């Protein structure tokens, strides 16, 4: 009830994507963890507090949508036990048992009628080649249509910054989008994804 495991995500990238999708005319649903940003009045917003709640909401919404973008920095593990009372400090060290959370974007991509599924990859690579390699592995393992990789070890982009620079990776190619505001980047990403969606729909 007092302490919890979280991360550095501000929600800026996800909320900018929602704005860009709405601007492009998409009926948009935002599933958001706790952040300090006002949501778009033109998108339906569902607030969640845990990875489990986000999984439930995402699986429900994803059954009836054409495009799913997973930008949230969802925890990979959660404490095995949720305490009712505050955990008191005693020894100099402490072990907390963690169990694996379901991987939301993997489960969405595995739906029988899955939407076009776009993941993000937050990496701390040594080189750009390494960023692509790490993200491409996620694209394939999670069976996504597209993955957007960002280097979160650079403070000027990624977590909590108003800017980002990404590598957009599909199964055949990759394209770098240089540092720009998350607003502009989101518009560029929505245009690119819309084009890919059109091509995929034509092929079906």
- The catalytic residue positions are 7
* Residue 160 in the binding site for ligand PMT (CB under 6 A): yes
* Residue 188 in the binding site for ligand PMT (CB under 6 A): no
Closest CB to ligand PMT among residues 152, 169: 152
- What's the closest the beta carbon of residue 133 comes to ligand PMT, in angstroms? 13
User: Residues 131-136: contacts with CB within 8 Å, 24+ apart?
Assistant: 131/167, 132/167, 132/169, 132/174, 135/167, 135/169, 136/169, 136/174
The stretch near ligand PMT (CB under 6 A) out of 8-16, 20-28, 82-90, 186-194 is 8-16
Euclidean distance between CA atoms 69 and 73, whole angstroms: 12
Per DSSP bridges, beta strands 116-123 and 67-70 are parallel
- The CA-based angle 42-44-47, given to 5 degrees, is 130
**Binding residue for ligand PMT (CB under 6 A) from 70, 167, 168, 193?**
70
* Residue 186 in the binding site for ligand PMT (CB under 6 A): no
**Binding residue for ligand PMT (CB under 6 A) from 20, 73, 131, 139?**
73
Helix (H, G, I), strand (E, B) or coil at 192: helix
- The CA-based angle 138-74-48, given to 5 degrees, is 145
The sign of the torsion formed by the CA atoms of 98, 99, 100, 102 equals negative
- What's the closest the beta carbon of residue 120 comes to ligand PMT, in angstroms? 3
Which residues have C-beta within 8 Å of that of residue 65, sequence separation ≥ 6? 29, 115
**Binding residue for ligand PMT (CB under 6 A) from 33, 115, 119, 125?**
119
- What's the closest the beta carbon of residue 28 comes to ligand PMT, in angstroms? 17
Chain residues in the site for ligand PMT (CB under 6 A) = 9-14, 51, 70-74, 76, 101, 103-105, 119-122, 138, 150, 152, 158-160
């Amino acid at each position: 009830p007092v302490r919890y495991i979280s991360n550095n995500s501000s929600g800026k990238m996800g909320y900018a994507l929602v704005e860009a999708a709405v601007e492009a005319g998409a009926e948009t649903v935002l599933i958001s963890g706790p952040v300090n940003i006002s949501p778009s009045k033109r998108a339906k917003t569902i607030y969640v507090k845990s990875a489990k709640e986000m999984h439930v909401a995402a699986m429900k919404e994803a059954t009836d949508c054409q495009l799913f973008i997973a930008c949230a920095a969802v925890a990979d593990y959660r404490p095995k036990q949720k305490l009712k009372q505050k955990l008191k400090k005693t020894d100099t060290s402490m072990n907390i048992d963690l169990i694996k959370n379901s991987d939301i974007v993997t489960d969405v991509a595995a739906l029988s009628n899955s939407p076009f599924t776009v993941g993000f990859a937050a990496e701390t690579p040594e080189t750009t080649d390494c960023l692509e390699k790490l993200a491409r592995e996620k694209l394939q393992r999670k069976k996504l249509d597209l993955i957007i990789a960002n280097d979160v070890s650079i403070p000027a982009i990624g977590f909590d910054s108003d800017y980002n620079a990404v590598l957009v990776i599909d199964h055949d190619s990759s394209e770098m989008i240089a540092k720009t505001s998350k607003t502009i980047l989101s518009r560029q990403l929505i245009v690119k994804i819309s084009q890919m969606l059109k091509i995929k729909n034509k092929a079906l």
